[in-house]
Amino acid sequence: MISTEDPDVLTALRTMQAKALSMRNEPITARKKRLRTLKRWILDNQSELERAAAADLGKPAIEFISIEIFNVLEEIRTILKNLNHWASPVYVPPSFAVLGTYSEIRYEPKGLCLVIAPWNFPFLLAVGPMASALGAGNAVVVKPSELAPTMSACIAKMASACFSPDEVRVVEGGLEVSKQLLTFPFDHIFFTGSPAVGSIVMSEAARNLTPVTLELGGKSPCVVTSSARVDEAALRIAVSKFTNAGQTCIAPDYVLAEDKVYDRLVDRIVFHARKLFSNPSTYTRIVSDRHFTRLVDLLQACRQEGVVAVLDGPAEARDRLFSPVVLKNVSVDSAIMRDEIFGPILPVIRFHDLAEAESIVNHQPRALALYIFSDARRETESLMASTSSGAVCINDCAMHFFHSGLPFGGVGRSGFGRAHGHAGFVTFSNEKSVIRQRHGLTGASLLYPPHTARKQRLLTKFMALFYR
């Protein structure tokens, strides 16, 4: 177990702090060189990464490549393409109060950053934020998930091959390791995981007044109105829900379907789920026995409430295979509506009009994403205006995550702070305000003592002229 009270560990972290100070004076080319080295390693070791994903979660290679490797490489490409522009000072025109001055915003590295990654997309959610932090010029400590040990070892191998240990260090271990790391005064902490653990991270970070980014989860709703293209909606919902066995923070947690399309939508979701996710050899497993048991108990509670499972495939505890489940006749007060499901169980709830759908969404904590399937602009605008979420995706699910130009993050209990692209660069940067005053007489002279009646009259006239 690592301990920040261990002299060797403390020395290593302090060495990284010192390195972070020197990295702030490096040219942008040095940051790009690190990112290019990282990119080459990923491409050269893709097969090893695929095997690690399969060993930990049974992920099929195409799913791992298309979601995790692709998104990391796209993030690196975006940073490399735009870094010179992002890192340049931004001119800010003067306000009336400081006429004659020159002002700009400069982006400086925060210093030593900690990235704590989850198990569901263990490569993407560790290396993506790490790339953003490196692009902003920081040194990085990465704590991968202990529930994906093979991938964790791969990430450690990658870090040692691509970077010096004072630039990037991977620390492996369980919850106690994370708790110990959180006692160290990092300059920024980026956490992806559950709201429950996120609150612990925030509490520990507060002891050192460390800024945090929390990428959490929640019950992301999916609203399907009568104007939607039902079969297309059903296909896209099924894919986004049951990929990775539903263990995705931005998967649709529940579906709200309007009366007119409810039965047809349920039938088509079942059809597509059976067609696309019936082969156990290409279906991701549940991460642990504890999570498997949690899903079994949740499904049993639903059955006791009279909920109907219109699709209920095999669930095998021996290898943690939990096939897609689709539920109908679900009440908004059902046990399954209390917490994020984070598994391949999809409740479909009936609504009568848009006001009812909006009320159901607003009854839940604000979500990481809202999904709307509708061809009526009035409906989509009404739902967006009356609800709050980290993102909105219209006529698809989760696609906003793949757009490196869109800030990604939550609101309220689904998290705060933003990742990806320019937003990720800003997250790991200190926005430093710089103002250069001219020589001689300036407007600030009015503020100097003595505070005469004449100065007061001039200031009063100025305010009346410009602000009335």
Q: Are 79 and 135 a contacting pair, CB within 8 Å? A: yes
In a domain, 445, yes or no: no
Q: How many CB atoms lie within 10 A of CB 433?
A: 9
Q: Judge whether 63 counts as a catalytic residue.
A: no
Q: Looking at the structure, do residues 153 and 104 belong to the same domain, yes or no?
A: yes
In a domain, 196, yes or no: yes
In a domain, 453, yes or no: no
Q: Looking at the structure, do residues 147 and 246 belong to the same domain, yes or no?
A: no
Q: Looking at the structure, do residues 174 and 247 belong to the same domain, yes or no?
A: no
* Chain-centroid distance, C-alpha 154: 22
Could you tell me the CATH number of the domain that includes residue 258? 3.40.309.10
Interval 251-301: pLDDT, tens = 999 999 999 999 999 999 999 999 999 999 899 999 999 999 999 999 999
Q: Looking at the structure, do residues 362 and 256 belong to the same domain, yes or no?
A: yes
Q: Which residues sit opposite 108 in a β-bridge?
A: 430
DSSP H or E run through 152: helix 149-162
In a domain, 319, yes or no: yes
Q: Looking at the structure, do residues 207 and 330 belong to the same domain, yes or no?
A: no
Q: Looking at the structure, do residues 201 and 259 belong to the same domain, yes or no?
A: no
- Marked catalytic residue, from 154, 249, 302, 393: 249
Q: What is the pTM of this model?
A: 0.94
- Per the structure, the count of domains in the chain is 2
In a domain, 459, yes or no: no
Helices 149-162/124-135 angle, 10° precision: 30
Taking the C-alpha atoms of residue 416 and residue 406, their distance in angstroms, rounded to an integer, is 15
pLDDT of 312: 87
Q: Judge whether 154 counts as a catalytic residue.
A: no
Could you tell me the CATH number of the domain that includes residue 211? 3.40.605.10
Q: Looking at the structure, do residues 398 and 423 belong to the same domain, yes or no?
A: no
Give DSSP secondary structure letters for 205-228: HHHTT--EEEE-----EEEE-TTS
- Marked catalytic residue, from 63, 68, 204, 215: 215
Tokens read off for 56: 């930990």
Cα angle at 420 between 113 and 93, to 5 degrees? 90
Q: Looking at the structure, do residues 205 and 59 belong to the same domain, yes or no?
A: yes
Interval 94-118: pLDDT, tens = 988 888 999 999 999 999 999 999 9
Taking the C-alpha atoms of residue 395 and residue 80, their distance in angstroms, rounded to an integer, is 31
Q: Looking at the structure, do residues 158 and 294 belong to the same domain, yes or no?
A: no
Domain containing 249: what range? Answer: 221-403
Burial class (CB in 10 A: 0-12, 13-18, 19+), 351: buried
Buried b vs exposed e over 93-125: b needs ≥16 C-beta within 10 Å?
eeeeeeeebebeeebebbbbbbbbbbbbbbbbb
Taking the C-alpha atoms of residue 387 and residue 2, their distance in angstroms, rounded to an integer, is 43
Q: Are 237 and 222 a contacting pair, CB within 8 Å? A: yes
pLDDT of 1: 41
Interval 198-222: pLDDT, tens = 999 999 999 999 999 999 999 999 9
Q: Looking at the structure, do residues 132 and 164 belong to the same domain, yes or no?
A: yes
pLDDT of 4: 55
In a domain, 79, yes or no: yes
Q: Are 252 and 412 a contacting pair, CB within 8 Å? A: no
Q: Are 216 and 414 a contacting pair, CB within 8 Å? A: yes
Taking the C-alpha atoms of residue 302 and residue 403, their distance in angstroms, rounded to an integer, is 36
Considering only CA atoms, which of 236, 265, 267, 235 is closest in space to residue 351? 265
Can you give the C-alpha Rg of the chain in angstroms?
Answer: 26
Positions in the chain whose pLDDT score sits under 70: 1-7
Taking the C-alpha atoms of residue 271 and residue 273, their distance in angstroms, rounded to an integer, is 6
In a domain, 466, yes or no: no
Burial class (CB in 10 A: 0-12, 13-18, 19+), 24: middle
SS3 232: helix
Q: Looking at the structure, do residues 366 and 426 belong to the same domain, yes or no?
A: no
Sheet architecture: strand order including 325-328: 308-312, 325-328, 345-351, 254-258, 221-224, 370-373, 392-394
Q: Looking at the structure, do residues 119 and 250 belong to the same domain, yes or no?
A: no
DSSP state of 333: T
pLDDT of 462: 86
In a domain, 177, yes or no: yes
| Sign of CA pseudo-dihedral 120, 121, 127, 129 | negative
